[in-house]
Amino acid sequence: MTDNKFKKFKSLAIYILLFFSIWAIYEIGIAPYIENNYSENILAFFKFFIKLFIWIVPVFLYLKFHDKIDPLSYLKLKYNIKQGLIGALGLSLIFITYNGLRAYLIGNLKLDVSLSINTWINGIVFVGLTEEIVFRGFFLKKLWDKLSFKKAMIVSSLLFVFIHYPVWFVKGNLVFPNLIFSSIYIFVIGILEAYIFKKTDSLWACIISHSIHNLIAYILFK
């Protein structure tokens, strides 16, 4: 590895470490306090701005000032929008089919659309944008610059699993066997999103399908 590549890899590793550390501190130490002491509307907008400034803003600043490139172009948000929409439709159908069958098999095939404003903003609409910009648009692409796509896909998908651990810890979900099933499920979603990102060359495929996945999950399994 050349000195330049090593420096870029080191910068990415530091970024990932800081990102995960800050998010873990927020999820474990700050989010529970906000949830227990403020109204639903305040919670929704607080979480929106927290995720905006911890997830999205640093990515754009890193690309703009560290890499000196156009963030929208690098993240694949400018072009191939039509291919992205087609890819989003295809992957969303897979998510809908799987979750529909799962709900049917466990005898829970019912739709509940009475979701809170926090769920709509941070669990459905905004989640696709924030999480896909970080994990597919940024981490996957950065790793892909240094590794084969297969390796980059696996590593970024594992990172996608691990970012869920702090909130699972708070909710008491870091227990067997649920931890194994949930980790595998999130990992597979990461793999599918990475694959559709590569096929369409558009992050919109990931953003839209991710939000639709969460919508289906909430109305079926809330």
What tens digit of pLDDT does each residue of 83-133 get?
A: 999 999 999 999 999 999 998 888 777 777 889 999 999 999 999 999 999
Q: What are phi and psi of 123, to 5 degrees?
A: -100, -15
| Confidence grade of residue 222 (pLDDT, cut at 50, 70, 90) | confident
What tens digit of pLDDT does each residue of 1-23 get?
A: 556 666 778 899 999 999 999 99
Q: In whole angstroms, how far apart are CA 106 and each of 98, 109, 110, 180?
A: 12, 8, 11, 19
User: Kindly report the CA angle at 195 between 123 and 173, in degrees rounded to 5?
Assistant: 40
Model-level pTM?
0.93
For the chain, the structural domain boundaries read 3-221
